[in-house]
Amino acid sequence: MKDLGDLLTCPVPLAGNATVLLAHGGGGRLTRDLVERLFLPRFRNRWLEPLHDGALLDRPGSRIAFTADSYVVRPLFFPGGDIGSLAVHGAVNDLAMCGARPLGLSAAFILEEGLAMETLERVAGSMAQAARLAGVPIVAGDTKVVDRGRCEGLYVSVSGVGVVAPGVTISPLAARPGDAVLLSGPVGSHGIAVLSAREELGLELEVESDSAPLWSLVERMLGVSKQIRCLRDPTRGGLATVLLEIAAASGVGMRIEERAIPVEDGVRAACEVLGLDPLYVACEGRLCAVAAPAVADPLLEAMRAHPLGRRSARIGEVVAGEAGEVTLRTVIGGERALDLLSGEQLPRIC
């Protein structure tokens, strides 16, 4: 990330927020504030600083990718997945977004006293199956139990280690004017599927989470070209946030065609009812790629030939405009600038 030099020498408290808000976990502006103003000034180092989905640890002869996420999704089970499969997919995808083949995962559980053992068995079984399907072993783990009422059933943190093949250099800092912006499928299904599982909302939707492990798709893409510049999976904050972050990190602008962005009908309908913008709703099995224009078409073809990329689309291009400025040409032909959400649109969807 850029423009943090002043924070390096002067760690400051977060202006205006004396306590943690739910929105600090929402993936939008407040999350970025927390990272940039609280964590980065303290933890600063060259591996952390790119704020990529994972860190690259260079070793003589190999590049190791390393990532970690906590999962607190509510409820634990939702259409198309559960906290266990979601956590495995999340770790695999963070590694894949670094261009890394997953080598192993760890799972650190925080369990609430009184959790039904059957629930834990179901989650562990789901993690095991997801790991098997993704072709990556769970190689380390930990279990802590907290008193009743000090956790909601279970939380799990999954970290992952992967290896990056020689010649692959994927970074959120690498987008250049003229590059194509590709998207691997419809957005927002995960967030809406989780919402639909919250009984208190009384939603009756037929939306399934898109949660899926993306390494095999990325592997196929890398087989077409190593000239993929950036990869990101639009999780918390959705596609809009990922585009804004890439544009800011790379110091470029983007022009995006709303019409080109696939959205499932059920997701669109739910978003209308709930007053949500699908561009800000999380996916857990989609990726956004920035690639040199010369390789965009063959990449798109390879993506569409993969089961997880059948509805891939070219959704826009990188432009030389102001750093971090992402302009959306809307379906009705207007233009609007995308912006980070400051509040929390959908708490605890991952």
- Binders of a second copy among 289-348, rule CB under 8 A? 347-348
What DSSP letter does each residue of 209-245 carry, written as one string?
Answer: ------HHHHHHHHHH-S-EEEEE---TTHHHHHHHH
- Region near a second copy per CB under 8 A, out of 102-110, 176-184, 197-205, 277-285: 102-110
Do 107 and 85 touch, CB atoms closer than 8 A? Answer: no
Binding segment for a second copy among 147-155, 184-192, 268-276, 323-331 (CB under 8 A)? 147-155
Instruction: Say whether residue 70 binds a second copy (CB under 8 A).
Output: yes
Q: By CB under 8 A, tell whether 146 contacts a second copy.
A: yes
Are 207 and 79 a contacting pair, CB within 8 Å?
Answer: yes
CB of 71 closer than 8 Å to CB of 157:
yes
Q: How far is the CB of 332 from a second copy (least distance, A)?
A: 36
Provide the token pair at 245: 């972050």
d(CA 35, CA 42): 10
CB nearer to a second copy: give 182 or 282.
Answer: 282
In this chain, which of 1, 4, 7, 103 binds a second copy, going by CB under 8 A? 103
Identify which range of 116-124, 210-218, 249-257, 316-324 contacts a second copy by CB under 8 A: 116-124
Instruction: Write down the least CB distance from residue 101 to a second copy, Å.
Output: 11
Cβ contact 312:304 at 8 Å: yes
Q: Which of 85, 159, 216, 327 binds a second copy (CB under 8 A)?
A: 159
User: Tokens standing for 49?
Assistant: 């600083």
Contact between 172 and 50 (Cβ < 8 Å): yes
Q: Which of 114, 135, 177, 343 binds a second copy (CB under 8 A)?
A: 114
Q: Of 7-66, which residues contact a second copy (CB under 8 A)?
A: 11, 13-14, 17-26, 31, 34-35, 38-39, 42-43, 45, 47-48, 54-55, 57, 59, 61-62, 64, 66
Q: Which of 83, 111, 181, 256 binds a second copy (CB under 8 A)?
A: 111
Out of 120, 133, 269, 323, which residue is the one contacting a second copy (CB under 8 A)? 120
For the chain, how far is it from start to end, CA to CA, in angstroms? 24
Separation of alpha carbons 114 and 179, rounded Å? 53
Q: CA–CA separation, 281 vs 244, rounded Å? A: 14
Residue 156, SS3? strand
Q: Is 234 in the site for a second copy (CB under 8 A)?
A: no
In whole angstroms, give the CA distance from residue 136 to residue 162.
10
Provide the minimum distance between the beta carbon of 297 and a second copy in the complex, in angstroms, as a whole number: 34
